[in-house]
A and B are shown apart, each in its own frame.
Chain A
Amino acid sequence: MLRLDEAIARYVHPGDRVALEGFTHLIPFAAGHEIIRQGIDGLTLIRMTPDLLYDQMIGAGCARKLIFSWGGNPGVGSLPRLRDAIEHGWPVPLEIEEHSHSAMAHAYAAGAAGLPCAVFRGYLGSDLPSVNPNIRQIVCPFTGEALAAVPALRPDVTIIHAQQADRDGNVLIDGIVGVQKEAALAAARAIVTVEEVVDRFPPHGRSAVVLPAWTLTAVVQAPGGARPSYAHGYYGRDNAFYAAWESIAKDRGTFQAWMQEHLGL
């Protein structure tokens, strides 16, 4: 176990392909903020649903490319910093590689499985393959069915947030588990921030996911590390903050002032 600043400094390098995952639930905000504080840039950010955290990282100039499948403020509106980066190259130009959820979910699973690509039934009739050269077609050698293929996602480093680690560094995730297990197992290095370190995990819930310590690179205790998203069993989602984000971020100046005040930049 490391401190958050140590783990980020040691394992996240400029230019890395970095996935910070979490499906509305357990978004690793504290870790993302530490990347911003350390000024790590040139990153290819990977995430199915880039939301406020990636808006902050993109607005802070950490990213040169984004691989994603849905970029918005879920249920609320848009991401002003993402749009400014795509439309005006501010603060740095942002290349995008756009997929569907199904494609990215399959691509992480392929990465975790050690496969070079994911094959699935997808993108039929969609225009997305015409704007993303990483969406190709493959023919099933047995049935002749045309299937979609995308490259496996293999981040240099994946960062996720979880509820608990035990003293040995095994990690437990409960609730909506998203794509975190696959993203962690697909990565060369996996960092997990946790709410709490416990002597023993509770009896497993409906969907508990356990990542053994030996699959992880670093485990970091970071209570509240998913705020303003939520950690099932610990704290709820700060919907008011999500609703307020558009007015904070729509202007470059108010965005920078907010970041200075809240991240101590």
Chain B
Amino acid sequence: MNATYTAQEIMTIAAARALTDEDVCFVGIGLPSAACNLARLTHAPRLRLIYESGTIETRPDVLPLSIGDGELHETALTTVSVPEIFSYWLQGGRIGVGFLGGAQVDRFGNLNSTVIGPYAKPSVRLPGGGGAPEIATGCRRIYIIMTQTPRTFVERVDFITSLGHGPTGRERRALGLGSEGPALIVTDLCMMRPDPESKEFEVVSVHPGVSAETVRERTGWPVRFVPQVDETPAPRASELEALRDLQARTARAHQRTP
């Protein structure tokens, strides 16, 4: 076991730690999927994972490359149709945590996965919202995991695909939303939580060896730090081992030809 770890590894591990055995979690593909399955394989074996492909309480042995891969169904308690997962389960208020990523996030946790630049003439056309617009409002709480750069952590997202706390931090209440919205952002540098009043995300914890200066440089708005910033606990050997095993299994599985 290597005692050192990558920025990507501590990001995934720190995000996994946010989940508990009591959570029912709607999982996005990519980084959220890695974090959620790591939590299940380490401290939260009873964590219930739901993917938008309709798989409920799935326990995949390898990470799916895509949202609808077979291992999600084969290891699920049950699989329902896509209309059902969005109607009864998400809209029905059954899901506590939504775990999302995106191409851009702002200080109020609003997410863009639609376009960079103007909608009609984008400089980059992104895949689009998928399940995220309703996950962001239908789950009781949202966690966000994203690599932190000035281009991804922006003053103002080019397009609000999925509502965070809104352009001024007050829009959720104005819309009458009962759900909490984004409660945590985990990056390769730090962890942020929203100020209870203003809903602006502030750095609450910095990963070991990362300076506040680096966090500032890689944030596109004048980011604030809480008065007592913690250091994120370094990955434990058991966490690193579980994550690396999972990723090695996943890489082997995806190389196999069918």
Contact = CB atoms under 8 A, between A and B. Distances in A.
* Chain B interface residue bracket vs A: 35 or more
Interface residues of A, number: 57
B133 interface: yes
A237 B86 contact: no
B133 A126 contact: yes
Contact of A76 (B65, B81, B90, B132): B65
A140 interface: no
Contacts of B138: 121
Contact of A74 (B66, B79, B137): B66
Contacts of A217: none
Contacts of A131: 119-120
Contacts of B196: none
Interface in B32-56: 52-55
Given A109-B83, A176-B72, A98 B134 contact: no
Contact of B82 (A72, A175, A179): A179
Interface stretch (B154-162, B201-209, B222-230, B236-244): B154-162
A134 interface: no
Interface stretch (B15-23, B170-178, B187-195, B210-218): B170-178
A210 interface: no
A11 interface: no
Given A75-B30, A176-B55, A207-B80, A100 B70 contact: no
A75 B64 contact: yes
B82 A105 contact: yes
A237 B53 CA distance: 15
Contacts, number: 192
Interface string B102-117: 0000000010001000
Nearest to A22: B68
A101 B68 CA distance: 14
Nearest to B121: A87
Looking at chain A's contact residues, the main secondary structure is loop
Contact of A121 (B81, B134, B257): B134
A106 interface: yes
A265 interface: no
B230 to A, nearest CB: 31
B166 interface: yes
Contacts of B65: 74-76, 237, 239, 242
Given A121-B134, A125-B171, A126-B160, A182 B66 contact: no
A170 interface: no
A175 B176 CA distance: 38
Given A24-B67, A176-B79, A237-B66, A232 B127 contact: no
Contacts of B83: 105-106, 108-109, 179, 182
Nearest to A238: B258
Contacts of A125: 110, 136-137, 160, 163, 166, 171-172, 175, 177
A83 interface: yes
Interface in B93-148: 110, 114, 119-120, 122, 125-134, 136-138
Contact of A232 (B70, B91, B159): B70
Contacts of B59: none
A193 to B, nearest CB: 18
Given A122-B133, A176-B54, A238-B257, A102 B86 contact: yes
A100 B81 contact: no
A72 B86 contact: no
A98 B258 CA distance: 33
B29 A236 contact: no
Given A69-B129, A100-B129, A175 B73 contact: yes
Contacts of B64: 75
Nearest to B84: A105
A49 B87 CA distance: 18
A177 B129 contact: no
Given A176-B54, A178-B82, A237-B258, A124 B131 contact: no
19 contacts: A23-B54, A23-B67, A24-B53, A74-B29, A75-B64, A75-B66, A99-B129, A105-B86, A123-B133, A124-B133, A125-B110, A127-B114, A127-B160, A145-B176, A175-B70, A175-B79, A178-B81, A206-B76, A242-B65
The 10 closest A-B pairs by CB, nearest first: A24-B68, A125-B163, A236-B258, A72-B127, A70-B130, A74-B66, A75-B65, A105-B83, A207-B79, A102-B134
